[in-house]
Structure 1
Amino acid sequence: MSKIEIDSFEPLKVFLEICNIPHASGECESLREWIKNKALEYGASVTIDSAGNLLAKKGKPKVCLQGHIDMVYVSESESFGIEPYIKDGFLKAKHSSLGADNGAALACMILALRDFDNLECLFTIDEEIGMIGAKNITLDIESKVMINCDSEDIDEIVCSCAGGYDLECKIKLEQIEIPSDYKIVEISTNKDRFIGGHSGIEIHKDIQNAILSICYVAQKLIDDGGILVGLSGGEKRNSIPTNATLEIALRNDYILDIDTSLFEVKNVEFNNMAFVANNLINGLLSVKNGVIDSDDSGVILSSNVGILRQIDDEVYVYIMGRGNKENSMKENIQNTQEILGSFGFASNVVDLYNPWEREDSEFLNHVYRVFKIHNNKVKIKSIHAGLECGILKEKYPNISFLSIGPSIFHPHSLGEKMDIESFRKFWAVLCDILKTI
Structure 2
Amino acid sequence: MEKGWMEIFLELTKIPHCSGETEALRNYLADFTRKHGYRVEIDGAGNVMAYGKKSALTLQSHYDMVCIGRAPRIETVIEKGWMRAVESSLGADNGMGVAMMLHLVRKGVNADFLFTNDEEIGLIGAGALELEIRTPCLLNLDSEELGKVYIGCAGGEDIHCRAEIRRVETPEKGGWYTLTAEAPGGHSGVNIAEAIPNAITELASVMVANSRMKIGTIEGGERINAIPRHAKASVWMPEGKEPLSRNPRVRIERCENPELPTVVEGRDVARALFGFAHGVRAWNRELDLPQSSVNLAEVSLKEKEVRIALSARSMANEDLERLVAQNVAGWEALGFECRTEGKYPAWEPEINAFGERVLEHYRKVDPEASYAAIHAGLECALFADRFPHLQIVSIGPTILDPHSDRERVDLESVEKVMNVVEAVIADLSSI
Q: Shared fold (TM-score greater than 0.5)?
A: yes
For the pair 1:283 / 2:283, whether they are aligned, the reply is: no
8 Å contact kept, 2:41–2:49 = yes
* Aligned partner of residue 154 in structure 1, secondary structure: coil
For the pair 1:343 / 2:337, whether they are aligned, the reply is: no
For the pair 1:153 / 2:145, whether they are aligned, the reply is: yes
Shift of 1:433: 1.1
2:408 pairs, out of 409, 413, 417, with 417
Query: What is aligned with 1:266?
Result: 253
Aligned partners of 2:270, 2:202: CA distance in 1, in Å? Answer: 11
For the pair 1:97 / 2:98, whether they are aligned, the reply is: no
Which digits, 9 at most, give the CA deviation of each residue in 1:102-128, with x for residues without a partner? 100001111112224431010111000
Query: What is aligned with 1:252?
Result: 239
Query: What is aligned with 1:293?
Result: 282
The one-letter code of the counterpart of 1:99 is G
Query: What is aligned with 2:20?
Result: 26
Identity %: 30
1:106-117 equivalences under 5 Å are 106-117=98-109
Shift of 1:256: 2.9
Unaligned runs of at least 5 residues, structure 1: 1-6
Query: What is aligned with 1:436?
Result: 427
Shift of 1:421: 1.0
Shift of 1:136: 0.7
For the pair 1:119 / 2:111, whether they are aligned, the reply is: yes
Task: Name the TM-score, length of structure 2 as normaliser.
Answer: 0.95
Aligned partners of 2:405, 2:260: CA distance in 1, in Å? Answer: 37
For the pair 1:213 / 2:202, whether they are aligned, the reply is: yes
Aligned partners of 1:35, 1:427: CA distance in 2, in Å? Answer: 19
Aligned partners of 1:377, 1:220: CA distance in 2, in Å? Answer: 49
For the pair 1:404 / 2:395, whether they are aligned, the reply is: yes
Which digits, 9 at most, give the CA deviation of each residue in 1:286-321, with x for residues without a partner? 432100001221111000011112231211111001
1:238 pairs, out of 225, 237, 260, with 225
1:386-405 equivalences under 5 Å are 386-405=377-396
Aligned partners of 2:388, 2:55: CA distance in 1, in Å? Answer: 17
2:180 pairs, out of 188, 199, 211, with 188
* Aligned partner of residue 317 in structure 1, secondary structure: strand
8 Å contact kept, 1:116–1:434 = no
* Aligned partner of residue 33 in structure 2, secondary structure: helix
* Aligned partner of residue 331 in structure 1, secondary structure: helix
Shift of 1:261: 3.1
Shift of 1:278: 2.9
Task: Name the TM-score, length of structure 1 as normaliser.
Answer: 0.94
Aligned partners of 1:112, 1:259: CA distance in 2, in Å? Answer: 54
Q: What is the CA RMSD across the aligned residues, in angstroms? A: 1.5
* Aligned partner of residue 143 in structure 2, secondary structure: coil
8 Å contact kept, 2:216–2:302 = no
In the comparison of the two structures, how many residue pairs are matched? 424
Aligned partners of 1:429, 1:209: CA distance in 2, in Å? Answer: 37
* Aligned partner of residue 61 in structure 2, secondary structure: strand
8 Å contact kept, 1:284–1:340 = no
1:287-366 equivalences under 5 Å are 287-296=276-285, 297=287, 298-366=289-357
* Aligned partner of residue 236 in structure 1, secondary structure: coil
Unaligned runs of at least 5 residues, structure 2: none
Aligned partners of 1:71, 1:377: CA distance in 2, in Å? Answer: 30
Query: What is aligned with 2:369?
Result: 378
Structure 1 segments (4+ residues) deviating >4 Å:
none
1:16-95 equivalences under 5 Å are 16-76=10-70, 80-95=72-87
* Aligned partner of residue 246 in structure 1, secondary structure: strand
Query: What is aligned with 1:4?
Result: none
The one-letter code of the counterpart of 2:39 is S
8 Å contact kept, 1:359–1:400 = no
Which digits, 9 at most, give the CA deviation of each residue in 1:386-415, with x for residues without a partner? 000111122222211110000000101111
8 Å contact kept, 2:3–2:103 = no
Aligned partners of 1:232, 1:109: CA distance in 2, in Å? Answer: 39
* Aligned partner of residue 211 in structure 1, secondary structure: helix
8 Å contact kept, 2:202–2:249 = no
Query: What is aligned with 1:142?
Result: 134
